[in-house]
Structure 1
């Protein structure tokens, strides 16, 4: 397995963040590609080549792109034509940067396959999966809003093999209360990328409430810190020894990409996370 980092976690300009990723000992990087200079419409073929060369000159590869548009993902039918087209362009960009994974949250998958939203999400993922089949890219759903068994049944219902999983163990322990080790075996065969993140659940609630909070920019007097907390690797409820053993057991040899969404000193936390993972992988 290889160690990566989401360069946006450094909270620095892109090229500075790429340099930092190299400095802290990462082998690969993941980049948000939905807006600003990384939006596909802002990157001409020559700019793409220039960026790829810069990444390679720093001894790195692109592990994946983040194609997360926020909101309710692909759960609102009227929004989907535009989001699907934009996601296809991000898949094209990934291929130009010699990567083949785009990760995103698609919205909360209902446990009942007869739910209206289930069919809306299926239709969107079928279109993106078919495109992925054609261009050789994975559209990877990030774990978190639903139990891994629900996600597995959803993936099994699709015709395309290009709709896959970006496995985030912390989201499972923080929000869903799912066992991230058991979940690896549940989603065996679908995991194409992972996020290395840790956290603790303080209080269980319906994951849909949490993800609606993110989607709508806050709801009433809900305080997320009452429910969960993201913490540095090894300080939370993810049993990394057992988790990494499970990934090895299913034959996963891709990236463990560090994501640090909080904290006052992300560079320090990311550097320590790299060292933590190197120690665990020995």
Structure 2
């Protein structure tokens, strides 16, 4: 396992700023948000700038249009591939992102598909199942994996959904903090269940919500409820040898928090 950084964690204002902040973390590997690169001319040179700056690109990420994370209720309605008003745009963006990722030689792209159907009988013919399958096919046509990020559902629901979508290139980006933030169960138990489907893992931490139906709180790695020693041991036991990608989506000291998270994880990543 090697450490990497989520590019969006650094809140960079330009490709040059992103390179500078990545260097400041001391971790020269990045999962790069690709929808901005594909659609915003100001970010078109980001992959070249990173590589010229000695930063390795390990995978991509795509964010869908219209997501509103204000509350659990708003993201349930607006998240991922489900909103009809954004489906055509998101499908077309996925095709551009897949072309870009293939051109960059990346193995995979992750995204939040949205709140998955919790009823097993409903999953096979649910619009989100069909749309996720269609996007996975776009990536398969370019030789890429599509990784769904965990968190908005429990492990059993996600397992059933992947069976219903039934695509050989559809896997998981496992984020333990998201399960805590959404109140979707023990991330260690979920990882054991889902491990055969995990192709990438995020290192993000959180504490549970004080009241049901509200957000948990994201905190720097090492300050939350994730048992990182146990988390890494489960990954190792399953033969996982991909990146462990640090993500920070809150706070005003992102570089410092990522550096501290890396310091927390590095001793635990060494084989016993």
Structure 1 match to 2:226: 238
**Contact 1:109 1:118 (8 Å CA) reproduced:** no
2:140 to 120, 133, 137: 133
Say if 1:202 and 1:53 are closer, same or farther in 2 by CA, change over 3 A: closer
**Contact 2:123 2:129 (8 Å CA) reproduced:** no
Q: Measure the CA separation in 2 of the matches of 1:77 and 1:117.
A: 19
Report 1:11-26 matches (<5 A): 11-13=11-13, 14-26=15-27
Structure 1 match to 2:2: 2
1:150 to 157, 175, 180: 157
User: Structure 2 length normalisation: TM-score?
Assistant: 0.86
Structure 1 match to 2:242: 254
Structure 1 match to 2:109: 102
Structure 2 match to 1:189: 196
Structure 2 match to 1:83: 90
> What count of residue pairs does the alignment treat as equivalent?
257
Deviation at 1:264, TM superposition (A): 1.9
Deviation at 1:34, TM superposition (A): 2.6
1:65 matched to 2:66? The reply is no
Say if 1:117 and 1:32 are closer, same or farther in 2 by CA, change over 3 A: farther
**Contact 2:59 2:108 (8 Å CA) reproduced:** yes
**Contact 1:29 1:61 (8 Å CA) reproduced:** yes
Structure 2 match to 1:263: 251
Q: Measure the CA separation in 2 of the matches of 1:41 and 1:139.
A: 19
Deviation at 1:197, TM superposition (A): 0.3
Say if 1:118 and 1:111 are closer, same or farther in 2 by CA, change over 3 A: farther
Per-residue CA shift, 1:162-195, capped at 9, x if unaligned? 1211111001122134121121221122212221
Per-residue CA shift, 1:237-282, capped at 9, x if unaligned? 0000000111111111111111111112111111111221212212
3-state secondary structure, aligned to 1:178? coil
* Structure 2: stretches of 5+ with no match in the other structure: 68-77
Say if 1:114 and 1:81 are closer, same or farther in 2 by CA, change over 3 A: farther
3-state secondary structure, aligned to 1:176? coil
**Contact 1:91 1:100 (8 Å CA) reproduced:** no
2:206 to 192, 199, 207: 199
Say if 1:198 and 1:153 are closer, same or farther in 2 by CA, change over 3 A: same
1:163 to 159, 170, 175: 170
Q: Measure the CA separation in 2 of the matches of 1:199 and 1:244.
A: 17
Q: Measure the CA separation in 2 of the matches of 1:164 and 1:18.
A: 29
Report 1:213-232 matches (<5 A): 227-232=215-220
